[in-house]
């Protein structure tokens, strides 16, 4: 029962991240229009800038959903970089794959089904790890973030983007996990972007 409830929470987070409250649960929406609306409302370029990724970078997109943000990460690391897009729902990752195929970026992104309580990321190879509208859904956000730190390269960073409502909890959880706030911005009035590095490298 607990696992089923947790799966529902993660699915809700993916829908909220990708679509926003007004569009969640609308599978018939035109993908191109959906992407345009998302890009206008969320200014994903600022998330890419916060990640400090470029061609050849390796980035993990946690709770990637249907890929409205993932596609921007893939473009940023192309042609020889890699995005690992994780989720607990194979169906939304199938939608992500279709979106990336249409953009000619499918080969750059690895889809990965994960345990909701574990990062499941290889150690020491990620330039950045992104949690966009995800950390507040984690059962143990502090433990999850602490477990993700070893996956970073020495110069790597963890970026949390979420609604401003969750800002205080996100910052407090990251600090407890052993992360130090490096910078913060607000790309749109409804959301913040917080960039963290492990305390040892600050």
pLDDT in tens, 142-162: 999 999 999 999 999 999 999
Helix (H, G, I), strand (E, B) or coil at 123: coil
Residue 201: its pLDDT value, please?
52
Residue 84: its pLDDT value, please?
98
Q: Whole domain around residue 116: which residue ranges?
A: 2-201
Residue 59 and residue 51 in contact, taking contact as beta carbons nearer than 8 Å:
yes
pLDDT digits (tens, 9 = 90+) for 66-108: 999 999 999 999 999 999 999 999 999 999 999 999 999 999 9
Residue 160: its pLDDT value, please?
98
Q: What is the CATH number of the domain that holds 34?
A: 3.40.50.150
Residue 155 tokens, joined: 């110069």
Residue 175, H or E segment: helix 167-176
The model's pTM is 0.86
Percent of the chain with pLDDT over 70: 85
Residue 39: its pLDDT value, please?
86
Range list of H helices, 20-166: 31-42, 44-51, 70-77, 90-102, 141-148
pLDDT digits (tens, 9 = 90+) for 5-26: 344 444 445 445 554 433 334 4
When divided into structural domains, the chain yields a total of 1
């Amino acid at each position: 029962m607990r696992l089923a409830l947790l799966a529902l929470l993660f699915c809700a987070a993916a829908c909220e991240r990708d679509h926003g409250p007004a569009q969640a649960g609308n599978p018939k929406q035109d993908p191109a229009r959906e992407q345009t609306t998302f890009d206008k409302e969320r200014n994903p370029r600022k998330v890419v800038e916060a990640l400090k990724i470029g061609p050849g970078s390796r980035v993990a997109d946690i709770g990637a959903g249907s890929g409205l943000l993932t596609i921007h990460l893939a473009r940023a690391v192309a042609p020889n970089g890699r995005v690992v897009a994780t989720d607990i729902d194979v169906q939304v990752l199938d939608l992500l794959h279709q979106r990336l195929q249409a953009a000619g970026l499918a080969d750059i992104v690895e889809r990965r089904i994960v345990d909701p309580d574990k990062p499941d990321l290889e150690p020491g190879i990620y330039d950045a790890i992104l949690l966009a509208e995800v950390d507040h859904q984690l059962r143990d956000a502090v433990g999850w973030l602490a477990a993700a730190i070893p996956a970073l390269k020495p110069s790597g960073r963890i970026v949390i983007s979420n609604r401003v409502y969750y800002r205080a909890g996100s910052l407090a959880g990251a600090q407890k996990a052993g992360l130090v706030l490096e910078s913060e911005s607000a790309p749109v009035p409804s959301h913040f972007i917080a960039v963290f590095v492990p305390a040892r490298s600050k």
